[in-house]
Structure formats: structure tokens, C-alpha cells
Amino acid sequence: MNVLMPDLLHVLEHWRPFTALVIGDFMLDQLVYGDAERLSPDAPVPVLAVRRTESRAGGAANVCLDLAAMRARVFAMGVTGDDPEGGMLREALQQAGMDASGLLTDHARPTTLKRSLIGLAQHRHPQKMFRMDLESREPLSPAMTDALLARVRDALDRIDVVCLEDYGKGVCSESLCRGVIELCLSAGKPVLVDPALREDYARYAGATAITPNRNEAELAAASLGASPEPPSLDSGADQAEALASAWADIGSRLLRAHRFGAVVLTLDRHGAMLVRPDQPPVRLPTVARKVYDVTGAGDMVLAALAAAIANGADWPDAVRFANAAAGLEVEVFGVEPIPLERIHHAILLDHGRLRGKVRTLPQAVIEAAAHRREGRSIVFTNGVFDLLHAGHIALLRHAARQGDTLFVGVNSDASVRRLKGPGRPVHNERDRAEILSELESVAAVIIFDEDTPMRLIEALRPDVLVKGGEYEPARVVGGPFVESYGGRVDLAPMLEGRSTTAAIARAREGAPGAAV
């Protein structure tokens, strides 16, 4: 397993919002849902009885949405037709918080539209039946190209990074690509390109980085002359070295031919190959994941690389970040932006920085944010939890039922001694935290050294704060703070006769029932 560099953790812990410009082929994706229960009487084709239609921004807009989920302010630049679909595309982008003022109207072409017909057979399983593409692949006119380049020129002083997303629909013509790259290089702005499937990459020459997948890279390298045949990605481990060498050669050929600052070859489950001038090629593996849908993975790689570079990551760490983001993307159906917090959490998990359920406070904050971005509520409770007994279990079960994810604060040994005296705790803080980690109701455990958990509560901002019923609401530490932002305080019912202090006293006296 590849060792996670501390620099990437540092970048993630100090992540800052940034500004990105995305230029390329913007599209409208329409999903037409209905029932497919019979064949047409006039042809052997299924009939779709339409129930509803969903319209979503697609194509280069996917890069915009991915960047926004990584805390970017995004400027979208491209063209639409003078048609209702163009209006829907602009509205979808604006509702998602994008600046769509750079989407120009081209009266000579339609808005690129992908309309998928999805049938529900026997009211059970949705299945894509057919897709209709309404588009023009003609290159932009010189006038539209000049207008777009003028928009790019005017925006560059506000931009941290530029993404060029080419789907081969005509917007990323040779003149536009060359113009965008020249403007970016002159302004000192990194420009990253996700290329279309084409034989010649000359239009992208000089880009800061290019991110072809293995099929795209092989096609483009073939136009440069004979090259070693890349081995199958399904080959055994004994051919891993040959595989890396062959793909490094392809990346190097593209790099030299077109003066790229970096080539990032994406190799599916085999991760990515990073090739840079005067640097040895580096293959960066990814964590094996269950693949549901590879749609949007290339868009995610481009967005994640741009986000990491905008935040000062070096290229190997940027590729590690992009690998993690793309791995999460292929685990979901369709295209779904992945929040930064979820990527950060996955990187910590994948590289062994999170084992079991014990967390530092910064790690717990990341994990809580990842849960919250996916709609899960956070519950918090705390205690010493020395000599775990039925009363503790009842409290934790009750707390877990108050929301989706339970975080538990545990007093450190020093904190317990200050609160309970020199004879406590019986079990040290690590043992107490590990025991709690084995409980199904507990999602994460955080050890804290203060006399109260106020610092944890302020950092985690739980939706529900739970304490035992022996407390009065006014005495619950953090209660007013939680209620100030709309959270609530819950008092759990207590089990009579369960007390750690009493159990310890009985054990020391040798009383019946004192076994612990």
C-alpha cells in the first residue's frame, strides 16, 4: 500500500476555498422515466408510458459541480443554443451556485442534449432503454471563439485554476484550446485538460496537465509513431512492472511531443501514472472499490486535481487526492458530486490513519462533517465510562436512537483523577475508548483532557446532546450552545442501582455481586 505523505494531510487540514474557471462542452441531461409494460402494436419495440422527466446540467457542468463540492467558486464558460434547453441548463447551474454568465448563446447550434428513456419494468427495476443525442459537433465560429476568449481574458485575474473539459462537441476547437492555454500561461494560471477521444493532442500543447484515460492516451500516442504495446490491465502481478513501464512510455511520449507540464494517465482500478519532465514516472495505486457506475469518473479526476493544485498540493499528492475522489464517484449510480469532507475521510480510512473508532478531535470533525453532508444527524454524549455497566449501555443505546451517528467523548486519565480522585480510573483511557469502540451503537470515540467536553461540543456542533436523567437541563454542559443553533438536549432515563463508584466500593469490600 502506498504510504500517505504527511504533506497531503497538511493540505487537507488547511484547505481553503478557491476560484475555478471551467470551459468546455456544457450539456443538458434529461432523464425520462416511465413504465415499459407492453410492445407497440405497429413495431416490435417497447412503449414507454412517461411518468416524469428530470433535467440536469451535464458534460462540463459535472466538473463545475464537483469543484463546488470541494469549496470552489466556479465560473462556467461555454455555449448553448437559443432554445428552452439552454435556459434549463443555465437555470440548473445558477441554482447550484455557479456563475453562468460566461455561457454564451450561439444561434447557429442547439444546446447539446442527452435524453435518456428509462423504463420501469413491472414497477420494479429502472432500465435505460434508449438515449437520444441532439447536438452539433461543428467547431465554434471565429466570432464565438473570440467572444469566449474575451470572457476568459477578463476573468483570469479572479481565477486560481482553469479546467478545460473537451467532450468533442465542437466548443473546444483548436483555436479555442490554443487561445485558452496561451492566456493562462501568460497570466501564470494553471490550466488542466480532460481531452476528448482524438488522435492528435496538438490543440492542448503547453497545458499545465492533461488527464487522459488509458484508451485516450493509447490513441493519441499511436499518432506519434510506433510505441510498445501496453499489456492488458487484467494481466497478472508478474507483469505489473511491464505494465508500468509501457504506460510510463506512453505518458512520456505525450509529454515530450506537446510540452505538457504533467501527464496523469488514469488506469481504472490500477490507479494513475504521473509523468513529469525530468522526473521519474510514478504509478500511484488506488484502493480497490466496488464499481457501480464509471460515469463522471473522468470529470471527477479533473476537478479533484484542479482543487488540490489550487490548494498547493504537489503533483503526487494531487493525484492521490484525485484517485480517492474518483474511487468514491464510481461507487454511486450516475453523477454525484463528492463533498471534500467525504474525500478527506476516505483518504484517512484508506491509508490506515483511522483504525477502529477512536479519533482525534480533528479527525472526528472531518468524520462528522462527512456524515452531515450526506444528511445524517450527529448525536453526542460523554462520560468517564470506567467499569462499563448496564447503565452505560442503556445510556448509549438511548443516545444512538436520537439520531443517525453517535459520537462519544471520554475523559482522559488526568481529567478523571481531577474529577474523581487519585484512585480513578480503574481502566486507562485507551482501554476505556477501545471497549466503547466495540459497541454497535457507537460510531466514534474522542478522548478529551479538559474537565468538561465543551471544546468537543463546540467543534462537532451535534444536532442532539444527550446526558443521563440525573442531570437537570440547566446543568448540562454545552446545552445552551447546542440549542442556540437549533439543536436539542435530551435526558436519557437512568437505570436504578447502576453506579461505577458503587461497584468499585463493593469490589474493594468484597461484597456479593462485586465481580467486575
> Which residue, among 182, 234, 233, 187, has the nearest Cα to 203 in the 3D structure?
182
- Rounded-to-integer distance, Cα 387 and Cα 400, Å: 20
C-alpha cell at 434: 477501545
C-alpha cell at 284: 500511484
C-alpha cell at 214: 488509458
- Rounded-to-integer distance, Cα 152 and Cα 87, Å: 22
Continuous segment of H or E residues that includes residue 446: strand 444-448
Q: Which is catalytic among the residues 160, 166, 299, 350?
A: 299
> Which residue, among 78, 83, 92, has the nearest Cα to 147 in the 3D structure?
78
C-alpha cell at 40: 407497440
Supply the DSSP string of 127-186, one letter for each residue. EEEEEEEE---SPPPHHHHHHHHHHHHHHGGG-SEEEEE--SSSSS-HHHHHHHHHHHHH
Helices (H), 188-269: 214-222, 240-258
Q: Is 314 a catalytic residue?
A: no
Contacts of 409 by beta carbon, 8 Å cutoff, 6+ apart: 380, 381, 382, 383, 445, 446, 447, 448, 453, 456
Distances (CA, A) of 480 to 112, 470, 488: 53, 18, 9
Continuous segment of H or E residues that includes residue 369: helix 361-373
Task: Please report, as a single letter, which amino acid is at residue 28.
Answer: L
Neighbours of 496 (CB within 10 A): 6
- Rounded-to-integer distance, Cα 95 and Cα 345, Å: 27
- Rounded-to-integer distance, Cα 251 and Cα 248, Å: 5
Task: Please report, as a single letter, which amino acid is at residue 300.
Answer: M
What amino acid positions are annotated as catalytic residues?
299
